[in-house]
């Protein structure tokens, strides 16, 4: 693993996204329009479990939408060119870090938009620091897991369709831990209780990154 390669690849991803200015705009528009559609259906929510579940459903679909394009650029000559320049492990780690940063930004946009439209009554008894920590850790976890799924789907040549089929069963344990941790944070439960779920989320994040680093070189070689 070469930190200079990872930094260069992250910079490359950022520059490519800056050239495609519609990329970030489309993600933000997707989140805002989805939240607004939910607002039209439910108006204001005060029930904490429903508020929490709806928020994570929106963020989950936003993550699939945002990360499905992760490895769509590496086709034909560009993949061969990258193969001659950098180690495949640097590629997947750089992509994971970039996707994690993308999901952190997207989760914050989603949370602000969600509170503005759906209301903040569910946050009245919440521990704000704990809830935001859970949101950020959950967003990073989704990025780490779905980056590996996106790589497998891209190498299989099936794109977003296969990613959706593989992604939901694999993401489910992570999603259940996130839902439980965020519900406890909204209820104002102490860190000593919620911390067990946060550690479980962190462990799944680390496992997803480790599997990506181990498996991706074989996917890349094929």
- Helical H segments across 157-190, by residue range: 160-186
Give the contacts of 6 (CB within 8 A, at least 6 positions apart): 90, 93, 94, 97
Distance from C-alpha of 134 to C-alpha of 140, rounded to nearest angstrom: 10
Could you tell me the residue range of the domain that residue 18 belongs to?
3-221
- Helical H segments across 20-87, by residue range: 22-42, 48-67, 77-85
Cβ density class 199-213: b for 16+ within 10 Å, e for less? ebbeebbeebbeebb
Return the closest-CA partner of residue 61 out of 71, 49, 53, 72.
Answer: 53
pLDDT given at position 222:
58
Q: CB count, 10 Å around CB of 125?
A: 11
Distance from C-alpha of 41 to C-alpha of 25, rounded to nearest angstrom: 24
State both tokens at 21: 């200015």
pLDDT given at position 42:
80
How far is CA 162 from each of CA 41, 157, 168, 216, rounded to the nearest angstrom? Answer: 30, 9, 10, 17
**Are residues 10 and 94 in contact, defined by beta-carbon separation less than 8 angstroms?**
yes
- Does the pLDDT at position 20 exceed 80? no
- Does the pLDDT at position 164 exceed 80? no
Instruction: Look over the chain and give the mean of its residue pLDDT values, rounded to a whole number.
Output: 83
Distance from C-alpha of 48 to C-alpha of 68, rounded to nearest angstrom: 30
Question: What is the average per-residue pLDDT within 170-174?
Answer: 89
pLDDT band for position 82 (50/70/90)?
Answer: low
Distance from C-alpha of 222 to C-alpha of 206, rounded to nearest angstrom: 25
Percent of the chain with pLDDT over 70: 89
Count the domains in the chain.
1
Q: CB count, 10 Å around CB of 102?
A: 21
- Does the pLDDT at position 150 exceed 60? yes
pLDDT given at position 142:
92
């Amino acid at each position: 693993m070469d930190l200079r390669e990872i930094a260069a690849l992250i910079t490359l991803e950022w520059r490519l996204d800056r050239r495609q200015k519609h990329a970030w705009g489309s993600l933000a528009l997707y989140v805002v329009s989805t939240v607004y559609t939910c607002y039209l259906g439910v108006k204001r929510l005060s029930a904490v479990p429903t508020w929490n579940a709806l928020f994570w459903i929106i963020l989950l679909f936003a993550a699939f939408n945002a990360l499905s394009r992760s490895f769509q650029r590496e086709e034909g000559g560009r993949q061969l060119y990258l193969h001659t320049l950098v180690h495949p492990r640097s590629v997947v780690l750089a992509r994971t870090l970039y996707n994690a940063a993308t999901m952190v930004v997207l989760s914050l946009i989603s949370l602000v938009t969600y509170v503005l439209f759906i209301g903040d009554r569910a946050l009245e008894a919440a521990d704000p620091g704990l809830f935001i920590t859970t949101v950020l850790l959950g967003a990073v976890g989704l990025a780490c897991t779905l980056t590996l799924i996106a790589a497998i789907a891209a190498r299989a040549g099936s794109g977003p369709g296969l990613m959706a089929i593989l992604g939901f069963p694999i993401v489910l344990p992570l999603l259940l831990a996130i839902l439980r941790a965020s519900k406890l944070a909204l209820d104002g439960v102490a860190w000593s209780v919620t911390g067990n779920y946060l550690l479980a989320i962190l462990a799944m994040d680390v496992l997803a990154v480790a599997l990506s680093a181990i498996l991706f070189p074989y996917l890349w070689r094929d």
